[in-house]
Structure 1
C-alpha cells in the first residue's frame, strides 16, 4: 500500500495583473466568490483529502497575503509560507523555491484555481509516486478560454506534449499535479537564463515518458485569471452549492 500524500504546495507568487487591471485590489487567493475566498475552497478540498501541511509560495505583497490566509487555515492543517524573491520570473522558479522543504511526493496547484473536491481525491488516489501525475480535462467544449489554456496531447495514459500553442491536442491541463521529488531536477534542467515555467518541467519529463494523465471526467474546475473567468466561476458556484460544502472541523 502506497504512503498517503500529506504535503501540498500552492503557488501564489504572481501579481494577478489581468485582474488588477480590471480593478481588483486583493490577491487572487483572497478574492470572494459566492461568499467565500478562492483559497477557502482549495483548503477545504485539501483538508478533505487528508493533506496535513500546506506550503504557500508567495512573492508580491507577501505580508498582506499571509495575513488574509492564516485565519482560513483549519486546525488540522499546518501552513508554511515560502517567499520567492524571484517572483517576477516564471512559475517554475516558485516550484523550485519549495524544494528544500519537501521529502516526499506532493500535491501541487496554483492559488487562483478552483477544483471540485473530488478532483483532489481522484488525483491523490490514482497518483503513482515515482511519476508526474497531471489532472487533465477532455471536455474541450467546457473550457472557458480555450485559446489561453495549457493544452496537452496524450497517448493512452501518457502525456506526450504540453504547450499553450499546440495545434494537435486532446485535453487541457487543469493545474493540479502530484509530483515526485525528481520533478525538481527536471525543472533545473529546463532552466534557460535562470528561468523556467512549470510547463517546461512537465515537458522535460514527457521526453522521458514519465508524465501520466489522470482524466477528471465530468468533474468541474476553473482558473481565475480574468474578470470573465471570475464571473463564470461565480455562476457555477451560485447554482451548485453542493459542490463545495465546507469540510467538517475537528471537535
Structure 2
C-alpha cells in the first residue's frame, strides 16, 4: 500500500524549538517520523511526501530517515505551498494510481485506524474518510477541527464552518484516482482545499465515512495539542 503525506505548509502555529513543523520533536522524535512509523506498522511500504515551505530541509531529513530505517520515501515538490492543502494533493497526480492512503504530516493516529481503513475496499470512483463520532468530549479542539455531517455511511457535508455535524475529519483517507478529478473540479470553482474535493464527491454520493471507534488521534497544530500528543504517547494510546 502506498501512502501520500501532505507536508508542504508553513505550520506557523507550532514552532517549538524547530522552525519546520514536520520536524518538531514529539517525545523526542520528529512529528513526521511518528506519522511514517505508524503507517508502516499498519502495512504501508511506500511513501510519497509533498514538501513546500523549507522543502530542502525536510527532504534532507527524510532522506536520512529512509537510509537509516530502510523505508521507501519519494519526494513531490509543491512550489505553491502558500495555497490550500488540496494543491499539495493534486501535485501527486501522475505519481499515484489505484488506491492509496492519504494523511497529514501533523496528524498522529492509532495505527489501527490505518490498518482498518486499508482493509475496506473502496467502491470505484469513491473516497473514504476516517471520521471520529466522539464530538462530546473530543481530544481535538472542536473550534479548529474540520466537521463532517454524515448519514448512512455517506458524507453529506464537510468543512470547519458547518453548523450541523455528527463527526470530525481525522485527516486520514483511503483514496482512489477519483480524488484527483474532484480536486480539479473543486479548484476550477475556486476552492483549493481537500474538503472542497470531498464536497464535490459528497454531492455525487461518492464520499464515504469510516467510523474509527474509540481509537485515538490528534492534530498536532499548536503547543497545547503537542502536550496532549506527548501524553498520549506516554500512555501508549498512540
Fold-level similarity (TM above 0.5): yes
Q: Which residue of 1 aligns with 2:24?
A: 31
Alignment of 1:34-53 (within 5 A): 34-53=27-46
TM-score normalised to structure 2 length: 0.93
SS at match of 1:178: strand
SS at match of 2:98: coil
Q: Which residue of 2 aligns with 1:233?
A: 229
Q: Which residue of 2 aligns with 1:57?
A: 50
SS at match of 1:133: strand
State the shift of 1:142 in Å: 1.6
Matched, 1:147 2:143: yes
Q: Which residue of 2 aligns with 1:198?
A: 194
Take 2:200 and 2:24, find their aligned partners in 1: how far apart are those partners?
Answer: 34
- Deviating runs (4+, > 6 A) in structure 1? none
Take 1:29 and 1:88, find their aligned partners in 2: how far apart are those partners?
Answer: 16
State the shift of 1:61 in Å: 0.6
Q: Deviations over 1:121-142 (max 9, x none)?
A: 0111124152200000011112
Take 2:168 and 2:141, find their aligned partners in 1: how far apart are those partners?
Answer: 11
Take 1:190 and 1:233, find their aligned partners in 2: how far apart are those partners?
Answer: 33
SS at match of 1:147: coil
CA root-mean-square deviation: 1.6
Larger deviation, residues 24-33 vs 194-203:
24-33
State the shift of 1:50 in Å: 2.1
Unaligned runs of 5+ in 2: none
Q: Which residue of 2 aligns with 1:68?
A: 61
State the shift of 1:201 in Å: 0.3
Unaligned runs of 5+ in 1: 1-5, 245-251
TM-score normalised to structure 1 length: 0.88
How many aligned positions are there?
234
